[in-house]
Amino acid sequence: MEDAVSTVRRARAGGRTRSKQAHQAVLAAAGDLLLELGYRQVTIEGIAERSGVAKSTIYRWWRSKGELVMEAYAGATALVVPEPDTGSLEQDLVALLANLYAAASQPSCALMLRGLMAEAQLDPDFAEAFQYWVRGRREVVAAVLRRGIQRAELPPNLDLTHAIDLVFGPFWYRLLVGHAPLDPADATAHATRLLRGLRG
């Protein structure tokens, strides 16, 4: 993951190799500070100080705060939305949504997700990276839905894009607006209503 985002930048031709230690320290410090302060209060300078890594070193490897935070978060979240495969579409969706809701119930995780979404609105460069990540999450759901189509649990002409929007949309909306809590218990209701809408 790391490499995909920030390494493979120039062909090596001698010279000191990149310090894994500095790299880790930066990501760790970024993660810690995000949890402590929230996205906006986190600054590159703060991360530099906390991690003991020079500001210029950070700028060498990440172009912006958003990109850095993205990477700091990417590893952790890989586990969060594993692709379920229970044999039943409904159970798959329930599992998936339950996972999602559970993750977002952790305040730290919720804060990060909200900060990332905010940054994506404000920084076009970061938006691209963020969208790339989102597409990955969407693909997981797409796979589940495709299996549902194969099993004839869903109509073959289903508009996948819209369908996936119905999975993630209400979740993000509630996460971002905060008008109601994100209770993992709601995952089942969400999934049920969702399925009814998708089935012709």
Partner DNA sequence: ACATAACCGAGACGGTACGTCAGGTCTTGAC
Partner DNA sequence: GTCAAGACCTGACGTACCGTCTCGGTTATGT
* Contacts for 182 with CB less than 8 Å, ≥ 6 apart: 101, 104, 105, 110, 171, 174, 175
Q: Could you say which residues in the range 49-78 bind DNA, by CB under 7 A?
A: 52-57, 59-61, 64-65
Which residues of this protein are in contact with a second copy, per CB under 8 A?
Answer: 38-40, 114-115, 117-123, 127, 130-131, 134-135, 138, 159, 161-162, 165-166, 168-174, 176-180, 186, 189-190, 193-194, 196-199
| Tokens encoding 23 | 């790299």
Q: Could you say which residues in the range 3-42 bind DNA, by CB under 7 A?
A: 10, 12-19, 22-23, 41
Distance, CA of 198 to CA of 184 (rounded, Å) = 22
Comparison of 53 and 96: residue with beta carbon closer to DNA = 53
Q: Could you say which residues in the range 75-114 bind DNA, by CB under 7 A?
A: none
Residues 38, 46, 170, 184: which binds DNA (CB under 7 A)? 46
Choose the one of DNA, a second copy, none that binds residue 135, judging by a C-beta under 5 to 8 angstroms depending on kind: a second copy
* Angle, alpha carbons 30-31-35 (nearest 5°): 115
Choose the one of DNA, a second copy, none that binds residue 146, judging by a C-beta under 5 to 8 angstroms depending on kind: none
CB of 193 to a second copy, least distance (A): 4
For tokens 């049920």, what's the residue? Answer: 192
Comparison of 18 and 114: residue with beta carbon closer to a second copy = 114
CB of 15 to a second copy, least distance (A): 10
Comparison of 3 and 161: residue with beta carbon closer to a second copy = 161
Residues at the interface with DNA (CB under 7 A): 10, 12-19, 22-23, 41, 43-46, 52-57, 59-61, 64-65
